Chains A and B, each alone.
Chain A
Amino acid sequence: MKWMKRQQLAGYLFVLPSIIGVTVFFLIPLLFSFGLAFTNWLGPTGRDLRFVGLTNFRRLLFDGIFWKAVRNNVFYLLHVPLSVGVGFLVASGLNRRVFFRNGLRASFFLPYLISAVAIGFSWMLLFHPTQGPINQLLVSLGVRNPPLWLASTKYAMPTVIIIATWQSMGFNMIIFLAVLQEVPRHLKEAAQIDGAKSWQVVRYVTLPYISPITFFLLVIGTMNAFKSFGMIQAVTGGGPVNSTLILPLYVYRTAFRYYEMGYASTIAIMLFVIIFLFTMLQWYGQRRWVYYD
């Protein structure tokens, strides 16, 4: 009995520092922002903080920029399956007999660790609309009017998606590489003996076997896509004409450019709700394609 009590106490002592920090820096601010979402607070200079009920939420319904940011954010999600897909292909390549495996693996993974601002600037020059090497290459290949990339409302988001895929792929690749090594040999060999072609082995043996990991990567990737900030803020700041404005940027802009801190909290709450809905959606969708043994 006494031992049990000591055990309890030890448990609390171990988690206590972390719990205090998480409460102060995550939980309280989170609850606080739920409250702020119902106020008209305009930042430290605007004195009178009033509760305005659902006014902010009503405003949100008719805020064209908010809905544009939602649409943009969903479009931006496209980089998640791309990055998971490319990550899988690269991992499959590295999982075969290949020279320089470690060096290759390192070069595929490195971008994942690099500062989004630094690398964003490098991509900005590469994609420079008139003089950038990418467009000069396209022109020399005979493309008459190459896309203006980050400078065009039409191509800015696809460009951002390319950069995001490039940066997030390494993580997916590393995880796939580890799981691929665990696919049991006898399963693949059994399929081959039954006359399966190599793509059929991938389709009917490998993919189902690794599907729980694919699912995990898609869920994490989606969550991160709704939290992205640095790279887009650095390369376009949400422009041109809001074409790359995603929700995290809109929250920041509303709070710290327009100082509408109450309304910014409302948008942030909606962002949280959207992340939650997408996660649930994926959770329920998984039974259609994820296999657990």
Chain B
Amino acid sequence: MTASIGALDTCARLLREPVSLGRGDPRVSLEKYGPLLLAVAVVSAAVFGGVVGTYRGGVQLVFAAVKLPLLWLIPILVTLPAVRALHRVCGVDVDYGQVALAALVGTARAALVLAVASPALWLLYSLHVGYHVAVLALCGSLVAAGGVGLHTTARILPGSGAGKAVANMLAVAAVGVVFAQSGWVLRPFIARPRAEVSFMRTVESDVFSSVAASWRSARGDYTGWDARRQGLLANPEADSP
């Protein structure tokens, strides 16, 4: 009972006054709220993932619910050192505890906002919209929630002035790139109606070339897209006949 009250109280503070969770000694706050914030982020993202999976249904519902939390947590893990280094170079003295707490609060808040807004997405998907509309709706939701999370993180991190603004811009760029590429690597979240369902596709090309190809297609240039297997995790032999 106490734990559930603590969770509800934390969720209320996440939505109402997230900055209050970052006050005081960051290590103490991280110790006190860290596991709960992580749980809120994972459960909320899993709920949203389950809703995204309803577009295809079946086992894709479980796959999406498992992968969505990873989509939120991988960027934190990968960019945490970069965010700290960029802030310090810009004159904002932060340690790992502060950055980790701020990122965790931002992620938990973004995931929570997505989870509570997921019925709207479910309603849209239940109307049997087209595949591209479904993907666009998912991307829009993620970008909007990501913006909320990054704004919250920036508010919690100490510092002010031009140095913090530059550090925040660089951090947003770094997190954005990793978030986009993580989404690309972990796809599909929404399986095409007639495609074979798979947990993950092979590592091939990157999100930036995909976006460029989509942009060309949108302008009427259907020159195709050579999605080659690239990167350390790719298996280049799979391309050979």
A, B from the same assembly: no
Q: Which residues of B contact A (CB under 8 A)?
A: none
